[in-house]
Amino acid sequence: MKTKDDFLNGQILLIDKPLEWSSFQAVNALKWAIRRKFNIKKIKIGHAGTLDPLATGLLIICTGKFTKKIPELQGQVKEYTGTFTLGATTPSYDLETEVDHSFPVKHITEELIKATTEQFLGEIEQVPPIFSALKKDGKRMYELAREGKKIEIKSRIVQIFEFEITQINMPKIDFRVVCSKGTYIRSLAHDFGQALQSGAHLSALRRTKIGDFNVINAVSPLAFKENL
């Protein structure tokens, strides 16, 4: 069992973030559980890389002196699995917003899908989604997007180390991606749809690895609280 000093001196906690929870909610749940259990007035705690509410999976949470490790952990290579839905786009590139355009999919074959993944291997240029937590002029971009403001977003270079299609059940395709820090899987879904001369959006996402840390070793926030 962990002690009060363990958490204050520093812990790396592996959490399996539930669907529809924000990363902030997960951090908050752990913070309050630790404070209540050990009667601590204040404890440093933070996560090493946001997961969208509609994504599940590995969230690394650091406490105490280990919060200094967050930048190093954020820079680690990440692995995701999930699903693209072909034939339709959304403004947020995922299910947070409604479908805005539909596209043909009859020309898309299994061979075309698998061949198209090769265009996205290595260093690629990517434009982050307008509905993202990145800041512009001091405001989060998703706030500006919801206000209907036009935003110019600069592209960035990211790296895709592995991109594998694991199942095809049209119009849904399952994938596994290993990528660098700063990669938006939602943008990959959008760009992949365009490369297929169609459209696509991200309909499921799970982060499975960050560096050497694996979601199979993670626990839910509820399980963490119960076993504290």
Query: Of 137 and 1, which is predicted with more confidence?
Result: 1
Q: How confident is the model at residue 43 (pLDDT cuts 50, 70, 90)?
A: very high
Q: What is the mean pLDDT of residues 133-159?
A: 71
- What is the tens place of the pLDDT at every residue in 163-175? 999 999 999 999 9
Give which of 210, 157, 211 is closest to 184, Cα–Cα. 157
**Residue 27's CB: how many other CB atoms inside 10 A?**
21
Q: With 0-12 CB in 10 A as exposed, 13-18 as middle and 19+ as buried, what is 34?
A: buried
Tokens of 146: 């919801």
**Residue 63's CB: how many other CB atoms inside 10 A?**
23
Average pLDDT for the chain? 93
Of the residues 52, 94, 137, 191, only one is catalytic, namely 52
Tokens of 165: 């299609």
Residue 181 above 90 pLDDT?
Answer: yes
- What is the tens place of the pLDDT at every residue in 189-207? 999 999 999 999 999 999 9
- Is residue 52 part of the annotated active site? The answer reads yes
Q: Looking at residue 216, what is its pLDDT? A: 98
Q: Looking at residue 152, what is its pLDDT? A: 72
Q: Looking at residue 154, what is its pLDDT? A: 85
CA angle, corner 86, sides to 144 and 156, nearest 5?
45
Q: Looking at residue 128, what is its pLDDT? A: 87
CB within 8 Å of 172: residues ≥ 6 apart: 83, 84, 85, 86, 203
Q: Please spell the DSSP secondary structure of 78-137, one letter per residue.
A: EEEEEEEEETEE-TTSSTTS---EE---TT--HHHHHHHHGGGSEEEEEPPPSSSS-EET
- What is the tens place of the pLDDT at every residue in 87-142? 999 999 999 999 999 999 999 999 999 999 999 999 999 998 876 666 666 666 56
Q: Looking at residue 179, what is its pLDDT? A: 98
Q: Please spell the DSSP secondary structure of 195-208, one letter per residue.
A: HTTS-EEEEEEEEE
Q: Which residue has the tokens 């990669």?
A: 183
d(CA 194, CA 211): 30
**Residue 37's CB: how many other CB atoms inside 10 A?**
13
d(CA 28, CA 22): 10
Q: With contact defined as beta carbons under 8 Å apart, do 203 and 88 qualify?
A: no
Taken in order of first residue, the domains within the chain and their CATH numbers are 4-75+212-226 (3.30.2350.10), 78-210 (3.30.2350.10)
Instruction: Please state, for a pLDDT cut of 70, what percent of the chain lies above it.
Output: 91
